[in-house]
Structure 1
């Protein structure tokens, strides 16, 4: 039964990717209505990808997306590591309550806070900038980062930190030279998840950076113009880094890091 569930979930995950692949490399005379998921189209072409690349300035949006995602990952670690460390030194009940509240805050739709954030960013001259977009997307990524890192820090024996203090290490030195290296798997997972959350984020990217768009906004623009086949090819380009990073992420997403923040 377990294998049946795994097979079903795998098929459920891979089917949209299969359809995306099918549309991306189908001859241009095909339409969405003429495609048959169980029937391979006649011919195999890169014409959709070529047309998408010719009709779109893809390099700048892709570089902007890469830079923004990398900044979001860095922000999630710079703020998440000390925040998670501080929470891990509180009582389990208080730490779990605060981490749960962070997730409740994260459940607020991005559209609700995007408008006031954009007004503030205009005053701060951060509107339509990579830094401003990264800061806004960091609001989404930070709770996940704190949650992963909190579980890792809580799983480490307190005796390690006490011994470091006895040896003369300060709080920051203990954190960054002892605890962070011991939690490198959780640190890597927090960075990769934050990176992926930013990579395909759409709401903040649309409202806060309309003049210098990211790759998801470019894909949306092509869909709005009716370029479905070209949009599918661009979506495949957007999906590939996510697939690669997801495969890399599997080795880091161990059970103790995901559940550690929920247990005392």
Structure 2
């Protein structure tokens, strides 16, 4: 973790205002969120500001971990809570070389997902890892996407739900693009789609889907509807405890296509139904 930026002699309220002074050009608002002791409050405020403006670019501190310990104060759906404000505008979060946004693993931390992208919203994550989201009775513990999601050179890791889509839920009508991203260690403890549950349009390019687990279908991916395309990536070491698609399960009526994608070590099989996924050796 990088060293904390110290704001000696400035009150917490003043530091919040200073950190959120936007640098505005003709296209977008830009905000830097430092790795300070109040960084979660600053991040939430920056997202709210970008949503209100309709668009915004948020830069996170290099190698910083933004650890969420509570549900976002603006949350309106307690049965499906988020740690950060729901994305309603065109919001970009970036870090160089990278940063992590996580649900804290400290004792007493409530259950919540990290991000929800609402219909009409757009979230772009560049060099960002999203991890440790946890839900009971709700889908998509890491990210629930109802709009447009782009993850580039990032990670969706170690998220868990007892419903569908441990790492990512991509609903009907939504579009998610994963470029050079790792989706790993996610779990659906009582349902399907340990790594990803897709009902919309999913594109995964140069992406690794590995070490995810589902109790039912699709340890790595359950494609419930819509279309998923994997290109130049790998699907490895995922598990379906029901025996239906350790790597990928394609629900009849949906479509999954894999181009130049390697499948290995998925338990007890790579893809199901047999022959449903072109490019996947069962």
Q: Same fold (TM over 0.5)?
A: no
Structure with max Cα Rg = 1
Q: If each structure's helix is expressed as a fraction of its own residues, which one has the higher value?
A: 1
Q: If each structure's strand is expressed as a fraction of its own residues, which one has the higher value?
A: 2
